[in-house]
């Protein structure tokens, strides 16, 4: 197959952020397919023209469009629309058997739709986040006209797609509620890279020894965005309560985003900044395994708005692969899995005082950490092995090309019985 892979925020392991599209493209190429990525280059560049690279057999076309998760909504929307426009004219020149478009942003569906129509090839739409539902629920998207347009794009994307890949069971349910045929929706969540995140003693020691504030103290880490969706003020409040309880636990937040300065200010006011709560800048994906080797637990923090519980955060699957228990402050499908497999702490609905006490107790319990870590790794191997997911996606792509997309949901039908 010749595949055009549209993803505005493609990353290699040397870059900061999710490498899902890189891993999928690399896996498909190993199976003998030809994959061309159309993406944006987010750093400053000497001009605004397309340029091409090759990454492990993946042809990557980059268009410089500056983007930062610190930018406000309108600036990000401008970047989304600009990429949609430019990616169409680049993709239309390429030969392909199908187009695979990965959101967010939702605007990725615009060029994918028109390319699919123009070339008369199947469109497969991957839903990484429920847009526009989430920004509407969070009151980020409030303009009635923009809401109307966003919902129209979403409806068009779902209707025209031969197959839809949802990243969680809850996403699939939400998509089907919008009058989308169940048969054409499959679940392929984010994945665990089992070899890359395997515990490494040397990486762990090196990570801890470089941080005088850490050494052999218990460590809870968070790696990811500092945005409104994540609501990391929860972590600051957790640190304050741990401090009040005289816990020896340290919390490390690694990342960047719109809320970072506000969080640091809050941490200083609570007298936990660089005391038991520490901030570091984001790091490339290939350096993330060291963090997990050094950690005792990892966290996925999400704002208390139920629509966000459908998320499929990479940090969750990285933690499982690293055999580290996961701390959740939200409900949803990941909460259900952690409860079922006994591989972490589920603090949804608990007071911050209770959560801090429970965290302090469990993070200092070596037996609990070991058993929960083993359970986490078992879950990763059973449900979230990257190689299994790539094989499933390949099957879905073949079905689309052969006009059998009505069998799409069958590919992953028994995958989640939560």
Amino acid 417: pLDDT: 56
24 is a domain residue: yes
Q: What is the pLDDT of residues 272-326, one digit of tens each?
A: 999 999 999 999 999 999 999 999 999 999 999 998 999 999 999 999 999 999 9
Asked whether residue 319 falls in the same domain as residue 219, the answer is yes
Q: Is residue 416 part of a domain?
A: no
C-alpha to C-alpha distances, 411 to 52, 118, 294, 374, 407, nearest whole angstrom: 34, 28, 37, 28, 7
Where in the sequence is the domain holding 319, given as residue range(s)?
A: 201-383
Number of domains in the chain: 2
- Report residues of the chain scoring pLDDT below 70: 69-71, 415-418
Same domain, yes or no: 223 and 153: no
Residue 297 has a CB neighbour count (10 Å cut-off) of 25
Reported residue count of the chain is 418
Same domain flag for 268 and 222: yes
Is the same domain home to 243 and 178? no
**In a domain? residue 418:** no
Comparing CA positions, the residue from 6, 16, 290 lying closest to residue 126 is: 6
pLDDT at residue 123 in the model: 98
**Can you spell out the DSSP letters for 102-158?**
EPSSGGGHHHHHHHHHHHT--EEEEESS-TTHHHHHTTS---HHHHHHHHHHHHHHH
Cα distance between residue 224 and residue 313, in whole Å:
9
CB burial string 97-118: b at 16+ within 10 A, e below:
bbbbbbbbbbbbbbbbbbbbee
* 221 and 176, same domain (yes or no): no
Q: Which of 323, 330, 367 is nearest to 345 (CA)?
A: 330
* Domain shared by 168 and 297, yes or no: no
Structure tokens given for 364: 């200092």
Give SS3 for 326: strand
Q: Are residues 21 and 92 in the same domain?
A: yes
Q: Are residues 159 and 210 in the same domain?
A: no
> pLDDT tens, 28-82?
999 999 999 999 998 877 788 999 999 999 999 999 998 776 667 778 888 899 9
Q: Are 61 and 93 in contact (CB under 8 A)?
A: no
Question: Do 246 and 100 share a structural domain?
Answer: no
* 56 inside domain: yes
The answer to whether residue 417 is domain-embedded is: no
Please indicate, yes or no, if residue 392 is contained in any of the structural domains: yes
**Does one domain contain both 256 and 349?**
yes
Instruction: Provide the CATH number for the domain around residue 162.
Output: 3.40.50.2000
Residues 6 or more apart in contact with residue 67 via CB below 8 angstroms: 9, 40, 42, 76, 79
Q: What is the pTM of this model?
A: 0.94
pLDDT of 324 reads: 98
């Amino acid at each position: 197959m010749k595949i055009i892979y549209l993803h505005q925020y493609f990353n290699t392991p040397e870059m900061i952020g999710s490498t899902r599209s890189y891993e999928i493209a690399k896996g498909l190429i190993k199976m003998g397919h030809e994959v061309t990525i159309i993406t944006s280059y987010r750093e400053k560049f000497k001009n605004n023209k397309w340029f091409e690279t090759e990454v492990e057999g993946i042809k990557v076309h980059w268009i410089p469009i500056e983007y930062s998760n610190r930018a406000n909504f309108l600036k990000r929307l401008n970047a989304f629309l600009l990429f949609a426009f430019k990616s169409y004219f680049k993709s239309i020149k390429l030969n392909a058997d199908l187009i695979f478009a990965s959101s967010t942003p939702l605007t990725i569906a615009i060029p994918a739709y028109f390319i699919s129509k123009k070339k008369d090839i199947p469109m497969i739409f991957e839903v990484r986040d429920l847009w526009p539902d989430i920004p509407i629920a969070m009151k980020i998207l409030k303009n009635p006209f923009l809401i109307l347009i966003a919902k129209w794009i979403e409806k068009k994307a779902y209707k025209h797609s031969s197959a839809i890949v949802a990243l969680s069971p809850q996403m699939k349910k939400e998509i089907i509620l919008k009058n989308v045929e169940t048969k054409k929706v499959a679940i392929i969540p984010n994945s665990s890279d089992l070899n890359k995140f395997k515990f490494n003693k040397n990486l762990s020691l090196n990570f801890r020894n470089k941080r005088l504030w850490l050494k052999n103290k218990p460590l809870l880490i968070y790696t990811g965005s500092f945005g409104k969706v994540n609501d990391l003020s929860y972590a600051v409040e957790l640190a304050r309560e741990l401090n009040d309880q005289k816990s020896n636990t340290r919390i490390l937040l690694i990342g960047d985003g719109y809320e970072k300065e506000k969080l640091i200010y809050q941490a200083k006011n609570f007298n936990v900044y660089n005391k038991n709560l520490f901030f570091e800048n984001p790091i490339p994906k290939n350096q993330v395994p060291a963090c997990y080797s050094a950690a005792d637990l990892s966290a996925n923090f999400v704002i208390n708005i139920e629509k966000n519980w459908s998320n499929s955060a990479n940090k969750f699957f990285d933690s499982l692969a690293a055999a580290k228990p996961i701390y959740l402050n939200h409900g949803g499908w990941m909460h259900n899995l952690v409860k079922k497999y006994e591989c972490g702490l589920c603090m949804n609905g608990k007071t911050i005082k209770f959560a801090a006490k429970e965290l302090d107790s469990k993070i200092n319990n070596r037996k609990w950490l070991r058993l929960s870590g083993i359970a986490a790794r078992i879950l990763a191997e059973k449900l979230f092995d990257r190689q299994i997911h790539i094989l499933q996606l390949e099957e879905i792509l073949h079905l689309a090309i052969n006009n059998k997309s009505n069998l799409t949901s069958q590919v992953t039908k028994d995958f989640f019985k939560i």
